[in-house]
Structure 1
Amino acid sequence: MSATTTVSPLHKREPLAVGFVLLHRFTLLPFAAFLDCLRLAADEGDRSRQVRCHWTFMASAGHEVLSSCGAAISPCLPFQDPGAFDYIVVVGGVQDDHDRMDTRAHAYLRQAEEAGVPLVGLCTGVFALIQAGLMKERRCCVSWYHHRDMIQRFPTIQPVADRLFIDDGNRLTCAGGAAAADLAAYLIERHLGKAWAMKSLNIMLLDEARAGTHPQPQPVVFGKIEDRVVRRAIAVLEQHLGEAIAMDALSERVGTSRRNLERRFREILGVGPQKFARDLRLRYGLWLLHYTGKSITEIGERCGFADTAHFSRHFRSAFGATPSEMRKRASEPGSDRVDPFFLHIDGRPTL
């Protein structure tokens, strides 16, 4: 076929249909980022007609839904036939009320799964997929901010928090925030072609779509680190505070050799990755001592140490006091609270 007669994806493919399941106090940014990417790909210019993309807002009671910031989406329909959609996207709410469960929404998500419709969890929407029993033996992407909450609430789930989104076939999970636009662009490119995905991103003032494997921005622990390999390694270590990761496994995870990883850590941070990882786990232990009522034995286990004696020995070496002494000091009136994940000394992990 000549270049002048090539049929564009627009003429070959059906419109992309997406159903949104909005949970109580859903997070607005990931919803808006995903939706606007669809809206801008749906029509010429910025006219917002649902031509190439269709979307439907749904809620359990079929009425307006309040977002986490107080803005409401209205109107919302009752749950529709899931077979009418290419994807069903569930947008989760804030996690301050763990006991609140939308059982109607969970039942609808299971109905969609039985109908073979791919399910997308945006931000904390993945929590709803887990509660509905739809993430067994599935990879699961979650924001670094919610990582610890997830492993505490769902210990059998293995969340990934060092990338933007994961496409696991008919389950797609996204860390949320601006990454929702990247996931939407990914799906638009799949169904309509790259030109329509880029059109949306350009109007949204985004240069290009980031791949799902693109690392999440992580909380700065020891100041700004420019080296991408070291920064990615720290991101992995931050998400595995409960275990001692073998250096060979860590170097493989970040795509370099163990020797190169150790060299970069020493050049940039002044310590090797193994000591850095242990110091980071000790900081986690310090945080747990200050902010939880867990026993020292439990804290040692949570921080990946083989036994209490091992934990206490390294803790005293790092902080100049045993865990018991530190806890007693923290409980004294007027004692300063600490947030060890945001402490830094000249950009180096000196404890």
Structure 2
Amino acid sequence: MRPGASHAVRKRPPGARLSVGFILARRFTLCAFANFVDVLRLAADEGDRSRPILCNWAVLSDTMDAVASSCGVTVQPKERLGDPARFDYIVVIGGLMDEAPTLGPAYTGFLKRAAEAGVPLVGVCTGAFLLHQAGLLDGYRCCVSWFHHADFLEQFEGLNPVADQIFVVDRDRLTCSGGVSSAHLAAYLVDKHVGRAQANKSLHIMIIDDALQAEKPQPGITLDFRTRDPIVLRALLLMQQNIDTPIPVAEVAKRIGHSKRQLERHFRMALDISPQAAFLQIRLSLAHHLIETSEKSIAQIAVDCGFCDSSHLSRMFRRQFGSTPLALRQQAGLAG
């Protein structure tokens, strides 16, 4: 909660400890919304009776028209936008990236009034994109899905999104990567305002493991690496996001808050390999995949995978796989 904001002045039903207003983008992701709201629902009452006692929530709208999700299921809003200060949090559930999700001026104005009133704002899935479009993430760290990391960088210059954690809490802005991570972010809020027992109860009924901390790595491309070491997983995801412009291992370590020596020790213990060798394997594995499945030239694949040129790629490729990229492409029946 933003310093200076007061819960005492906010109207809520008697007994409620957590009140959440939802804004659904056009073609929002239903899974992210359902996971979030079901944690609130199950924490709000005894058993799964679903009475909004300890928690209450409402889908908000400017027009009160039903909102269609990305899978076609529609949700009927419950209340008009009104005064955002009646809620403890305003949660924006984002939609599909390829449809350039945007919010209308009424919603943007509502979110800005919420920020001015000290109501924390939550961006779920591509909801972080929408908050940034409204000018409400400047100076904040924000979490985006590893799957959309490149899209975020392309659309929003000057920001440093976090794509190696399941959610990020930065003062009065909370963001998560969507999917099941929205349940863990909701559980974080329930734990904070209602109680840890209620948060765990919700997740257990939903057949989700115990609540995960924000720093838990997002799942991503696993390749041949199998480890539960969160430091190694975060480093691998960061490497994956920088395949075309490889960054030094020391910089990888710095970005995830560890020293180079600590990172190397974790890699040796978890994978019996150095971070440098793992990074090279990631790049070569992607190159192998692109050579077999795409029509890109080998020179372009070399650039896309962070190699100086096709000769550099060929040397590393032969060392790893025992053949050249051209030989593999010929075996796959594609032009060189």
Give the TM-score, by structure 1 length: 0.76
Letter of the structure 1 residue corresponding to residue 197 of structure 2 = A
CA change 1:247–1:89 in 2 (3 A) is same
Whole-Å separation in 1 of the counterparts to 2:114 and 2:271: 49
Equivalent position of 1:341 in the other structure = none
Aligned pair partner of 1:46 in 27, 45, 48? 48
Determine the C-alpha separation between the residues in 1 that align with 2:295 and 2:158: 22
Alpha-carbon spacing, 1:292–1:103, altered in 2? closer, same or farther (3 Å): farther
Displacement after TM superposition at 1:280 (Å): 3.5
TM alignment of 1:123-162, pairs within 5 A = 123-162=125-164
> What is the percentage of aligned positions where both structures have the same residue?
43
Sort the Cα spacing of 1:259 and 1:111 in 2 relative to 1 into closer, same or farther, 3 A.
closer
Q: CA deviation at 1:54?
A: 1.2
Question: Could you say if the C-alpha distance between residues 71 and 282 of structure 1 is closer, same or farther in structure 2, counting changes exceeding 3 Å?
Answer: same
Maintained 8 Å contact 1:91/1:123: yes
Q: Contact 1:33 / 1:181 at 8 angstroms: preserved in 2?
A: yes
Deviation at 1:256? Answer: 6.0
Q: Equivalent residues in 2 for 1:102-117 (5 A)?
A: 102-104=103-105, 105-117=107-119
Normalising by structure 2, we get a TM-score of 0.79
Q: Separation in 1 of the partners of 2:335 and 2:36? A: 42
Q: In structure 2, which of residues 313, 316, 329 is the aligned counterpart of residue 315 of structure 1?
A: 313
Which 10-residue stretch deviates more, 274-283 or 153-162?
274-283
Which residue in the other structure is 2:6 paired with? none
Indicate conservation of the 8 Å contact 1:23/1:59, yes or no: no
Q: Which runs of 5+ in 1 are unaligned?
A: 1-11, 321-325, 338-351
In 2, Cα distance between equivalents of 1:91 and 1:82: 16
Q: Does 1:65 align with 2:92?
A: no
Q: What RMSD in Å do the two structures reach over aligned CA positions?
A: 3.5
Task: Map 1:1-351; keep pairs closer than 5 Å.
Answer: 14-98=16-100, 100-104=101-105, 105-225=107-227, 228-252=230-254, 258-259=260-261, 261-262=263-264, 265=267, 272-278=274-280, 280-281=282-283, 300=303, 310-319=308-317, 335=334
> Which whole-Å deviations, capped at 9, do the CAs of 1:273-332 have from their partners, x for residues lacking one?
2243245356667888987999x79984x7667xxxx34443332347xxxxx89x98xx
**What is the CA distance between 1:253 and its match in structure 2?**
5.1
Shift of 1:97: 1.3
Whole-angstrom CA distance in 2 between matches of 1:138 and 1:292: 40
Change (3 A) 1:177 1:78: same
Determine the structure 2 residue equivalent to 1:346.
none
Q: CA deviation at 1:13?
A: 7.3
Structure 1 CA distance for aligned equivalents of residues 335 and 197 of structure 2: 54
CA-to-aligned-CA distance 1:164-187 (integer Å, 9 cap, x gap): 101111110011111111111111
Cα distance in 2, alignment partners of residues 303 and 13 from structure 1? 56
Secondary structure at 1:54's aligned position in 2? Answer: strand
Gap change, CA 1:314 and 1:42, over 3 Å in 2: same
Is this contact kept in 1: 2:295–2:334, CA < 8 A?
no
Question: Does the 8 Å contact 2:61/2:77 carry over to 1?
Answer: no
How far off is 1:49 after superposition? 1.3
